[in-house]
Amino acid sequence: MKLPGNMQSMMKQAQAMQERMQQEVAQIRVEASAGGGMVSIKMDGKKNVLGVKIDPEVAGDVEMLQDLILAGFNEAAKKVDDEVQKKMSGMLGGMGLPPGLF
């Protein structure tokens, strides 16, 4: 199916933006902590965990440690989402789309 010239150009532009966005998301790195720094989580833009630090003080309290790890993961994931949203709104801002569309 052949698209009109303008539509075809827009599709190519959208594809290029998507590829650029994927590259930028892959470069995101965040770090979040819980329990005043007792547990620290490093995560990339695809929400892969890159590292976990646990203060030896909490290692003996399993329930507390589980809660802190869970809180750290959730905070890191939220930070990734925030960074992705910033990058998307910056990229899409130049397209003249209505605010809040993405």
Q: Let me know if residue 40 belongs to a domain.
A: yes
Q: Let me know if residue 69 belongs to a domain.
A: yes
pTM above 0.75, yes or no: no
CATH number for the domain spanning 72: value is: 3.30.1310.10
Q: Let me know if residue 5 belongs to a domain.
A: no
CB 44 within 8 A of CB 76: no
Tens of pLDDT along 18-41? 888 888 888 999 999 999 999 999
Rg (CA), the chain: 19
SS3 75: helix
Q: How many domains does the chain have?
A: 1
Least trusted range by pLDDT, from 31-35, 40-44, 86-90:
86-90
Question: What range does the domain containing 77 cover?
Answer: 28-87
Q: What DSSP character marks residue 56?
A: G
Q: Let me know if residue 19 belongs to a domain.
A: no
Query: 85: closest CA among 38, 25, 34, 40?
Result: 25
